[in-house]
């Protein structure tokens, strides 16, 4: 009963996606199954930290990465915080838990040359899909938005006169992004082809498939992977790497960290600072090249 109430709370009050809800449900069901096998009861509402700790040890022993273990424990932590909130328990058993250490691995960003090549030299087809795919790449690189944010852009979110774009990010947070003149031009070109579609089922969304349906996240990944593979030997080619590229290139050009934070939709500066290591590398190269004390 508590699990159903928790999932309803995440859906109705937190506006979590169905994908996120499924992940929470799966993590809690996994712990419940472990708890029943190890302690002969499926009731996890009043368990203690020792029981959760033994589950963590088992997960690590099975070879699960620390990052994955932390995500599962985060699901439990949210559940117990919910139980505290509704008065089912007084204190969360995970109140003093410290997450396992993880290495923050970022995909190597694309270079400015690679982005120039994919947007200028690649011969995109001059049809609906070709024009749409190029706009997807342009928009992700020019704004740094998340893949889910791009998929859910509605027609009413696009203001071509003001050159701005409204996106809804994590936790249903709204932000307004500026658009370059080239992006406005590309949207206008795309709209000409979009208006030619015979069947437009979800016409409130900006990006559609040829049959007129709303695009989906896997399609966006395929687009990025397909075209960036033509110009880049990098192993990881994804929408998130393009987001990383956006932030890195802005910081390399001297953009303010707080401004980049706002553009990315991060809630804290710490989330944005992970993008600075490449910027620092560029600063070091510039310093070594220009400083008079550097021995040639």
Q: Catalytic positions, please?
A: 146, 170, 240, 243, 266, 275
Element at 94 (helix H, strand E): none
Other beta carbons within 10 angstroms of residue 272's beta carbon come to 21
CA nearest neighbour of 105 among 144, 147, 148, 66: 66
CB 35 within 8 A of CB 47: yes
Give bridge partners of residue 214 from the DSSP assignment: 208
Structure tokens at 294: 């550097």
SS3 content of the chain, % helix, strand, coil (to 5): 60, 5, 35
Return the half-sphere exposure (C-beta side, CA atoms, 13 A cut-off) of residue 158.
21
d(CA 131, CA 191) in angstroms, rounded, equals: 10
């Amino acid at each position: 009963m508590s699990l159903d109430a928790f999932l309803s709370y995440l859906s109705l009050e937190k506006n979590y996606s169905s994908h996120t809800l499924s992940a929470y449900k799966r993590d809690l069901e996994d712990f419940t199954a472990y708890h029943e096998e190890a302690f002969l009861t499926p009731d996890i509402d009043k368990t203690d930290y020792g029981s959760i700790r033994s589950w963590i040890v088992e997960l690590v022993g099975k070879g699960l990465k620390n990052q994955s273990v932390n995500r599962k424990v985060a699901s439990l932590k949210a559940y117990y915080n919910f139980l505290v909130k509704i008065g089912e328990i007084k204190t969360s058993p995970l109140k003093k838990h410290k997450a396992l250490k993880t290495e923050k691995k970022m995909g190597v960003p694309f270079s400015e040359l690679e982005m120039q090549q994919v947007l200028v030299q690649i011969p995109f087809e001059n049809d609906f899909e070709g024009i749409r795919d190029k706009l997807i790449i342009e928009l992700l690189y020019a704004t740094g938005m998340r893949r889910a944010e791009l998929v859910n852009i509605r027609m009413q979110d696009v203001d071509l006169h003001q050159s701005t774009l409204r996106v809804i990010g994590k936790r249903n947070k709204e932000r307004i992004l500026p658009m370059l003149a080239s992006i406005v031009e590309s949207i206008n070109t795309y709209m000409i082809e979009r208006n030619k579609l015979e069947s437009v089922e979800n016409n409130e969304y900006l990006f559609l498939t040829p049959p007129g349906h709303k695009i989906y996240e896997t399609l966006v990944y395929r687009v990025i992977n397909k075209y960036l593979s033509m110009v880049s030997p990098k192993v990881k080619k994804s929408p998130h790497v393009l987001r990383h590229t956006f932030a890195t290139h802005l910081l390399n050009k001297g953009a303010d960290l707080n401004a980049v934070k706002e553009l990315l939709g991060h809630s804290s500066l710490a989330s944005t600072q992970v993008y600075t290591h490449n910027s620092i590398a560029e600063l070091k190269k510039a310093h070594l090249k220009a400083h008079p004390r550097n021995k040639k």
